[in-house]
Structure 1
Amino acid sequence: MVRGKTQMKRIENATSRQVTFSKRRSGLLKKAFELSVLCDAEVALIVFSPRGKLYEFSNCGMQKTIDRYQRLARDVHIDSEAVEQNMQHLKCEAANMAKKIELLQISKRQLAGEDLGSCSVDELHQIESQLERSLSNIRGRKTQLSKEQIEKLKEKERVLKRENRILREKARQQPTPDGEIVPNNQIIPHADVETELSIGILERGTTRPPPQH
């Protein structure tokens, strides 16, 4: 005979309900015992009948298991509260950060000359003062960079002059074709040659001026 599927609802007949309770209770206690033996688990089972009669099973002592459960449940509750508080704190921080970002975006647009219609006279004065301070800082930085660049160029000029002086000293010490070294005081400096270049077509009847010596 095929056993029908039991519906999960309260059994209305009192006798049938009592019989079912006795059978299921015995099976439940048996399963709890098997679980504790086969899996070496700490098991505690408490069952109250419809009339209030207590049935229990514990392989490690009921009170010990209950104390352990209460301790762990309290820790879990505390952890849950800590997680909830942390979540609330993070939400508040996120909201404050979003407000700061919005204010910074508004300030950026106002410094760029946008969205000024809602600004009062005092706010416009503040924006103007901030722009003047920013411009002053930019000019100061620009001046500093220019000075540093000029100093680098001056240092480069000093290095080039020093190298040029060394090369001239070496050139004065070069031997003559007959193998003699001409002293510095006997070297004839090169004469500067002046030239005058005229670019363009000469007019008829004009002559090019002689070069000046």
Structure 2
Amino acid sequence: MGRGKIEIKRIENNTNRQVTFCKRRNGLLKKAYELSVLCDAEIALIVFSSRGRVYEYSNNNIKGTIDRYKKATSDASNICTPQELNAQFYQQESKKLRQQIHMLQNSNRHLVGEGLGSSNVRELKQLESRLERGISKIRSKKHDLIIAETENLQKREVHLEQENAFLRAKLFPFEQIAENERLQQLSMMPGAGQEYHAIQHYLARNMLQLNVMEGVQASYPVPDKKTLHLD
């Protein structure tokens, strides 16, 4: 005997209706799966029973398929002008930027210790790690700057001392000669031996500095002898 056709209408018997629902639901889900595999079709199937239970099948993300369906139906029903499409695009970009700004503002508030009442332990640990990394970078940068500034000051002090000694050696040679003659006269006076030796020690130290500076004269501009005026 062949399979008889049934009348398509609501089944009044609750038991028969539930059994028919289960059988045909499973068959529908099976056919949807076969269609998606055989034809490489994107399918989203949603079924709600009379009791409110939901059954669904999708070979892709079901939300993505629904969004694609909404977009397709919207494009078919509403043909937008290029100006309207640009406006929609900029509205979406503006919405994304506002969300990013809101997230950054919340992040900055958390870094200064505000708005932490709703944060859980995991979020607080992440915030603590961020603060520790930031403090470590700041300390490292501060240490490097202090070392660089100290080296620059030391180089500048050495440079100024060398310039000062060089200028004294070039601008006051006659005063040193006169001072040597005066010391020789003092050495001939009675009772001036101890003072003379102290002054000689001082001059020997100055002459040592001048000899050292002679080796670095090439690094500095030498004043022109024609333009040197002595009063």
TM-score (structure 2 length as normaliser): 0.41
The structure showing larger relative contact order (alpha-carbon pairs under 8 Å, at least 6 residues apart) is 2
Bigger CA radius of gyration: 1
